[in-house]
């Protein structure tokens, strides 16, 4: 790595910029993950598939001649109702149960979504072309597609909007109250069932935004969901629940890591390195925690 920084400084800059822009998108997905994990105490394996579904909505708009950037507005609206539907059908039965039940149930949803998307949209890798062109930096040596910059800006806008919404609005306060103590919130007149449904809907809407942006900047494919789930899970455990700057930072860190893994190890090991990183992070976390336990002894 030290060698690389001197041998190929341009590559370093390129990979870092790509990684940061990518990481902002990851952070948006991870924010949704943290939200539902914190409020409802479920881990949603289908998170990535919601993202891909959101991407297909934007792609379809592109196919019918509408500029895919409008997907950023249309996709979350559709995905919100998809999220509510999933909540009413499945999630409300696993909220109070063991976490493993929610993992397995959402795993089932994930398989279901994958296959339905495969039927509906075909197994091809697709991309909604935004036609935004590219920006050249440093004497044309670093290229940044404008669509990536657009995606990052939109993600930041949505994230800030959501944070403000959570702070100021009535529903946002109800969601935060439920996250702190669901029983107490119920006693004080919060309809927790509604709050849960709304939380899952908002999460799905966030996935929709992220998916639409991914369909513009990268590619989508029905079976690409699980890596997004794992990435968002990883970001959340590194940052901790409810730590928003942490989510943003670790999202960007993951993006940079991935770009470097892509350049150094090769594209075929990209997804593998993400999953290995997850294992390493969890193992590191386990040794750190066990050290803490030894102090207590």
Partner 1 sequence: MNKNLIIYLLILIFGVAAPFIFPAFKVQLSILCVLIILAITWNIQGGEMGYNTFGNILFYGLGMYLCASVQVGMFFPLAEWTESGGEKTFVHTPAQFFQGFAAGLAVAAIVPTIVAGLIGYSILGLRGHYFAICTLGLGVAAGEISGGIEIIGAGQGFTTPPFPNIGSLEARGEFFYFCSFVTLVITFIAVKSIYTTRFKLVLNAIRDNEDKAEAMGIQTMKYKIIGWMISAFFCGLAGGIMGGLVGYIDSTDVAFDGREMGVFMVLMAILGGKGTLWGPVIGATIFHIFKEGFWTFFLGWQYVALGVLIVVIVIYFPEGIMGWLREKYPERFGEVVDEADRKAQVELK
Interacting residues with partner 1 (CB under 8 A): 43, 90, 93-94, 99-101, 103-105, 107-116, 119, 226, 230, 233, 237, 266, 268-269, 271-272, 275-276, 278-279, 282-283, 285-287, 290
Closer by beta carbon to partner 1, 56 or else 62: 56
Closest distance between partner 1 and the C-beta of residue 102, in Å? 8
Closer by beta carbon to partner 1, 109 or else 174: 109
Closest distance between partner 1 and the C-beta of residue 108, in Å? 3
Closest distance between partner 1 and the C-beta of residue 49, in Å? 10
Closer by beta carbon to partner 1, 68 or else 225: 225
Closest distance between partner 1 and the C-beta of residue 206, in Å? 20
Closest distance between partner 1 and the C-beta of residue 45, in Å? 8
Closest distance between partner 1 and the C-beta of residue 89, in Å? 8
What string of DSSP letters covers the chain? Answer: -HHHHHH-HHHHHHHHHHHHHHHHHHHHHHHHHHHHHHHH----TTHHHHHHHHHHHHHHHHHTTS-GGGHHHHHHHHHHHHHHHHHHHTGGGTTTS-HHHHHHHHHHHHHHHHHHHHHHH-S--B-------EEEETTTTEEEEHHHHHHHHHHHHHHHHHHHHHHHSHHHHHHHHHHH-HHHHHHTT--HHHHHHHHHHHHHHHHHHHHHHHHHHS-B-GGGHHHHHHHHHHHHHHH-TT-HHHHHHHHHHHHHHHHHHHHHH-GGGHHHHHHHHHHHHHHHHHHHHHHHHHHH-
Closer by beta carbon to partner 1, 18 or else 49: 49
Cβ-contact 221, 123 below 8 angstroms: yes
Closer by beta carbon to partner 1, 111 or else 144: 111
**Which residues have a Cβ under 8 Å from the Cβ of 93 and sit 6 or more positions away?**
105
Closer by beta carbon to partner 1, 150 or else 233: 233
Closer by beta carbon to partner 1, 8 or else 89: 89
């Amino acid at each position: 790595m030290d060698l690389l920084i001197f041998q190929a400084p341009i590559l370093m800059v390129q990979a870092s910029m790509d990684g940061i822009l990518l990481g902002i998108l990851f952070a948006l997905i991870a924010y949704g993950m943290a939200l539902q994990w914190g409020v409802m105490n479920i881990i949603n394996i289908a998170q990535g598939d919601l993202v891909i579904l959101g991407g297909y909505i934007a792609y379809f708009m592109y196919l019918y001649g509408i500029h895919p950037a409008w997907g950023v507005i249309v996709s979350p609206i559709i995905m919100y109702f998809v999220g509510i539907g999933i909540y009413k059908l499945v999630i409300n039965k696993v909220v109070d149960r063991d976490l493993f039940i929610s993992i397995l149930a959402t795993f089932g949803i994930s398989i279901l979504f994958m296959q339905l998307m495969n039927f509906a949209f075909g197994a091809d890798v697709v991309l909604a072309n935004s036609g935004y062109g590219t920006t050249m930096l440093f004497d044309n040596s670093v290229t940044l597609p404008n669509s990536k910059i657009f995606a990052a800006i939109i993600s930041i806008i949505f994230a800030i909007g959501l944070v403000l919404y959570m702070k100021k609005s009535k529903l946002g306060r109800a969601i935060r109250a439920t996250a702190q103590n669901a029983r107490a919130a119920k006693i004080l007149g919060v309809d927790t069932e509604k709050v849960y449904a709304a939380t899952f809907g908002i999460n799905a809407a966030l996935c929709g935004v992220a998916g639409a942006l991914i369909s513009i900047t990268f590619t989508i494919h029905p079976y690409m969901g699980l890596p997004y789930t794992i990435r968002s899970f990883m970001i959340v455990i590194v940052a901790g629940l409810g730590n928003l700057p942490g989510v943003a930072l670790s999202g960007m860190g993951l993006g940079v890591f991935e770009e470097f893994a892509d350049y150094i190890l090769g594209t075929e090991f990209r997804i593998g390195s993400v999953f290995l990183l997850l294992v390493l992070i969890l193992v590191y976390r386990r040794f750190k925690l066990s050290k803490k336990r030894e102090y207590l002894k």
